[in-house]
Amino acid sequence: MNAQIARFRQYLVYEKGLSPKSVEAYLHDVQLLADFLGEDKIADATFEELQKFLKHLYESDFNARSQARIVSGMRAFFRYLIYANVREDDPTELLDAPKIGMHLPDVLTVEEIQSIMDVIDLSTPEGHRNRAMVEVMYGCGLRVSELVTLRLSNLFFEEGFIKVVGKGNKERLIPIGKTAMKMVNLYINGKRKLLKIKKGEEDYVFLNRRGAHLTREMVFMLVKKWVAAAGIDKTVSPHTFRHSFATHLIEGGADLRAVQEMLGHESITTTEIYTHLDQDYLRTNIALFHPRY
């Protein structure tokens, strides 16, 4: 690995606090540029050389989304070089990333979410845990990683908030509703107390039968099972509940910046996709109900 790329890796890990997967993705994309230019030339790359690299990606059948991601990785790398006083200019400033269009994620209706909750059997040992998980995923708009690492010490039910640790180890407070609090309390004070909890796992909220915190993969499997049982013909993952949380708030008139804070988006442009979902919702309603549409 080129010395500058190695230092870039340290910067991503220790300065930016990125997850291992994000760091790996950035390094992979920058290494593609190093392979194209030569590792000894990457730090001195010019705008023209970067254009030639993008042309190479296009001719190598990289799709628009992959090209845009690689451009994002290059921008991060050259900004790091400026931060590290290796160079003064950013050759990516005028670089145009391919337009990939807007991706509107699948969302669940309120009725579909209720149907998923209804298929969870509360008489089973995991029933109250599973119902509480869905209530928290949808009620707080959590990422699956935030759900499985949620801790008892971060539940502030008297104040009506929970604290989660999101991307880049950034903490945020999220309001939690009465229904979600009720289901979490039923689980914590019920079946969870009967588990033999593994050492070091005592503070995690959601545990498996062996007393260890749940994995992301387990939550994905459970969601797939519930969706099939509810007869919902959509591509649904744990993240779909997060999309649905944001969409329903925007449709109900919530302030965009409030939704941004609750989702933990660093930039409001990431949250703005839900305004487009809202416009689609409005357009659909006009088409259905306006006599002259």
Which two structure tokens, joined as six digits, stand for 75? 């921008």
Which of 9, 128, 129, 143 is flagged as catalytic? 143
193 catalytically annotated: no
What pLDDT shows up at residue 291?
Answer: 64
What pLDDT shows up at residue 179?
Answer: 93
Looking at the structure of the chain, the number of domains it has is: 2
Pair (129, 79) in one structural domain = no
What pLDDT shows up at residue 136?
Answer: 96
Does 249 fall in a domain?
yes
Which of 151, 167, 191, 216 is flagged as catalytic? 167
Does 58 fall in a domain?
yes
* pTM exceeding the 0.85 threshold for the entire prediction: no
239 catalytically annotated: yes
> For the domain that residue 273 is a member of, what is the CATH number?
1.10.443.10
Which of 9, 213, 242, 243 is flagged as catalytic? 242
75 catalytically annotated: no
Pair (48, 146) in one structural domain = no
213 catalytically annotated: no
Pair (148, 8) in one structural domain = no
Q: What is the 3-state secondary structure (H, E, C) of 55-84?
A: HHHHHCCCCHHHHHHHHHHHHHHHHHHHHC
290 catalytically annotated: no
Q: Which domain holds residue 156?
A: 110-287
| Largest pairwise CA distance in the chain | 67
Does 94 fall in a domain?
no
Pair (23, 127) in one structural domain = no
Give the type of residue at 241: F
Contacts of 268 (CB under 8 A, 6+ apart): 256, 257, 260
Pair (230, 169) in one structural domain = yes
Query: pLDDT tens, position by position, for the chain (293 residues)?
Result: 688 999 999 999 988 888 888 889 999 999 999 999 988 899 999 999 999 999 898 888 788 778 888 998 999 999 999 999 999 999 998 887 776 555 566 789 999 999 999 999 999 889 999 999 999 999 999 999 999 999 999 999 999 999 998 877 888 999 999 999 999 999 999 999 999 999 999 999 999 999 999 999 999 999 999 999 999 998 899 989 988 998 888 878 888 788 888 888 777 666 666 666 555 555 665 566 656 55
281 catalytically annotated: no
